[in-house]
Structure 1
Amino acid sequence: MSDSTNPHSLVAADVAILTIRDSALSVLLIRRANDPFRGQLALPGGFVEADETVEQAAARELFEETGVPKSASRLDTIGVYSRPDRDPRRRVISVAYTALVPNPGLDRPGGDAAATQWLPVDQALKEPLAFDHVDILEDAVDHARKQLEYTTDATAFCDGEFTIAELRRVYEIVWQTKIDPGNFHRKVTRIDRFLRPTGETTVRDGGRPAALYTAGDLKRLPLPLSPAARTSA
């Protein structure tokens, strides 16, 4: 046993907090203030405290780093990471989550973080992230892309009221493909309970007034939305 003085494994919660910033799918990273991996970038996370569940620990990390309460985001489990050598200190098993958030407030370092920063995921995946956080981030991005096919989670990246064009842009950024506007508009507006019209319009997209919508109560799509099927010629 690698740690004979304290053989028990610890449990941690790590969170890949995703949002769209400057037209890119981005992730919040911390700069570690303590060993191990002092000075390296990592996902927010920490050990589960004695009086909380793993999900409560993940929600706490989300709030500590962004000020976003769990009620204002979608916190999904993406996997359990248990490679014996993932933490050089001792055996640590991590339950990883992803949170999809719209326009998060100012990020704020907490716990063992010296600083925080948002990076486009394509750039973040090229960084030497601490522990096995590159693996977790890859899985979080893959999860987000699949969720957009089968659920209404794309609305989690939007403000409370949004246009069809703004929603379409979420799909284009996350899927990294162009989408035919007309086909997309027809598809999403025909799915019962996906969107709820507000009866209001806006000109913030430019051009003619565009209808505003809010998220409906539908969670899972009756048929998947395919990136290929929505791509324009």
Structure 2
Amino acid sequence: MGTGSLWLKGTQNIGEDVTLVAQGWIRNDDIFRANGDSKKLQEGYIKFSSGNVDYRIGRQIIVWGRADRLNPTDNLTPRNFTLLTPEEDDQRIGSLAAKATYHSHENSLTGIWLPGMDPHVFPVATTPGVFFTQHIPRINRIALKFDRSGGDVDWSASYYNGSDLTPDIAIGAITPSGANLIFDHNRIRVLGMDAATVIGRYGLRAEAAYAWAVNTGANDFLVKKPFFIW
């Protein structure tokens, strides 16, 4: 078994302030099988500026958080955990979104609207007698972020309201042919902050978030409860 992949990215300027961006990959997870090919358009969006406001519209990867690896505020665009890649960021998948960022000196304010959702992709093994159903709600998602960069301490505060990229798992119908496991992507609201600074030779980073879930109480075991992560 062998794996081969080709990653491509292209940009095209249209006029002075408008740019088209496209990025994707072609890969084969088993070079000895002719049908082992797969391909994915990670990003395809248009970006432009007007005064102090930058706009991006289309399928795009949006990364939030200043901490290394574990980012509690990174809730907007998913990952494909079935991809074997040397870099974790290569697992990211873009989502359809409209993004606007207003800049004022060291400060910026970003608003994002995401119609629909693409969830995380997990490597779920095929098990005899077990079936999987994924419920993806078609709801609008919104996110806001205030960011301050360029001073002694860089920091941001963010808010997200939308579907959870990581599902809750419930047991559905059980029939003679097997059991149905349901992956529910329930609504969550996340309030987060991050910060980064340098003290002498050392760089310090911190990030934390609190999430409100739709759990109905202590006896609701099928939906994650509100949680704090840092």
TM-score (norm 2): 0.23
Higher strand share: 2
Does 1 or 2 have the higher relative contact order (CA < 8 Å, sep 6+)?
A: 1
Greater per-residue helix proportion: 1
TM-score by length of 1: 0.23
